[in-house]
Structure 1
Amino acid sequence: MVEHDRLLSAELSASGFPVLRCRGPLQALQLGLQHRPQLALIDAEAPGANPTTLARRLWEELHIECLVAINGDTHPGAGQPCPPGTLGYLIKPPQQSQLRSLVTLALNYAAERRRHAETHTRLSGAIDRNREISVAVGIYMERLQVEQEEAFEALRGYARANQQKLLELARTVIHAREDKQELVQRIARHYAR
């Protein structure tokens, strides 16, 4: 909570949300780094807080998403697209039930986005690993003039026999310098058995 009064943090605490309160952007970044909260709520009227800049920094530096509390009549953000790191705007003063519902929704949405980001990271890693295996299969195919399935089975069988991960063997095949042909031949001899 980055706010200039205690109204929103008091209402959030009364609704059962644990709240870390701070007075400005620097303290918000420090608390964010120390505690890794699931969500930041920035009061646009907090002293020294440029909500757009702070939300962007919290997102880019700490991957913490934000809600920005604004006065709907006077704040230029009302009705505008949300800046990076901002999930939405909270019009002040909210009713306690609205505040609870909006914060719960924002927490759920932020958690879902984190799960998607983690899944994307895992899939990207899997694709990169598969790419290396595919390159090694291609090298084997080119050197021995065999089909893809045979090349893959030869590499996989050799890796298993040597209690080695297929990815490790693939990297060895790709990065081998002078002995690449010898390594490929050794794999082929093992496969022919």
Structure 2
Amino acid sequence: MSKTRIMVVDDESILRMDLREMLEEAGYEVAAEANNGDLAIELAAAHQPDLIIMDVKMPGMNGIKASRIIQQSFHIPVLLLTAYSKTELVEKARHAGVVGYLVKPITERDLIPAVEMALAQAERLKELKQELSQLEQKVESQKAINKAKGILMEQYGWNEEEAYSRLRSHCMDRQIKMEEAAAFILKNKRLV
């Protein structure tokens, strides 16, 4: 099993070094390091880490803006580091799609559970997005099948139950999916 890959972004090289040490001792791989938001975006694209630990306050682009761009472009979860825990900052972080938040100074006792929670939350979010996508596909398929059924009712004078039954039989006989038959009916306005 491969190690979880983490990118560390902070303008303080000492803190990056400390974070690297804590993460590597805990069994993580530090895939990349950056000292500003612009470089973080560039390295996120190049390395595609499993998680990014990013400071909020850095020269140039701040961590919240970089997090928003990374989240929208690459869907990589971000755990923010900050010396402040202002409500406004937390709100901005939430809107940027950040999965966790740690207040400096950071200890290994705080860091590792926060990393684990951020990774778990990111995994759950990924699963929910996949489930949502599958549900949306099912809804679209059902809509197409219902439209096809309506066309059959209109074309052949069948009632809804008969149209569905004939459509299902047609699919079973030809060993095709209902969605495929529905697509054909929608395009050609007939069953065969």
Shorter-chain TM-score: which interval? Answer: 0.7 to 0.9
- Shifted more, 103-112 versus 81-90: the winner is 81-90
What is the match of residue 122 of structure 1? 134
In 2: Cα distance, 1:75 partner to 1:147 partner: 60
Q: Compared with structure 1, are the counterparts of its residues 46 and 12 closer, same or farther at alpha carbon in structure 2 (3 Å cutoff)?
A: farther
**Aligned with residue 12 of structure 1, among 23, 42, 50:** 23
Q: Which residue of 1 aligns with 2:3?
A: none
CA gap of 1:31–1:81, structure 2 versus 1, over 3 A, is closer
Q: Secondary structure at the match of 2:135?
A: helix
Against the structure 1 CA distance between its residues 74 and 164, is the aligned structure 2 distance closer, same or farther, given a 3 Å change threshold? Answer: closer
Partner in structure 2 of residue 191 of structure 1: none
* Structure 1 partner of 2:60: 48
Worse overlay, 21-30 or 10-19: 21-30
CA distance in 2: counterparts of 1:164 and 1:87, whole angstroms: 42
1:25-174 equivalences under 5 Å are 25-72=37-84, 77=89, 82-174=94-186
2:70–2:76: 8 Å Cα contact kept in structure 1? yes
Deviation at 1:90, TM superposition (A): 0.8
**Cα root mean square deviation, aligned:** 2.4
For the residues of structure 2 that align with 1:146 and 1:71, how far apart are their CA atoms?
A: 70
- State whether residues 44 and 68 of structure 1, in contact with CA within 8 Å, keep that contact through their aligned partners in structure 2: yes
Report the 3-state secondary structure (helix = DSSP H, G, I; strand = E; otherwise coil) of the residue aligned with 2:28. coil
Residues 58 and 85 of structure 1 are in contact (CA less than 8 Å); yes or no, is this contact kept in structure 2?
A: no
Question: Matches of 1:152 and 1:13 in 2, distance apart?
Answer: 59
Deviation of 1:57 after TM superposition, in Å, equals: 0.4
Alignment CA distance shift 1:18-1:125 (3 Å): same
Q: Which has the higher strand share?
A: 2
Bigger-Rg structure (1/2): 1
CA contact (8 A) 1:70 1:78 kept: no
Q: Which AA in structure 1 matches 2:10?
A: E
Classify the secondary structure of the residue corresponding to 1:164. coil
Displacement over 4 Å in runs of 4+: 73-76, 78-81
1:3 aligned partner: 10
Q: 1:126 to 1:40 in 2, by over 3 A?
A: same
Unaligned runs of 5+ in 1: 187-193
1:23 to 14, 31, 35: 35
The alignment's TM-score, normalised by the length of structure 2, stands at: 0.82
**Percent identical:** 26
Asked if the contact 1:65/1:110 (under 8 Å) is kept, the reply is yes
Q: Distance in 2 between matches of 1:19 and 1:146?
A: 64
More deviation, 93-102/80-89: 80-89
Residue 62 of structure 1 aligns to which amino acid in structure 2?
A: F
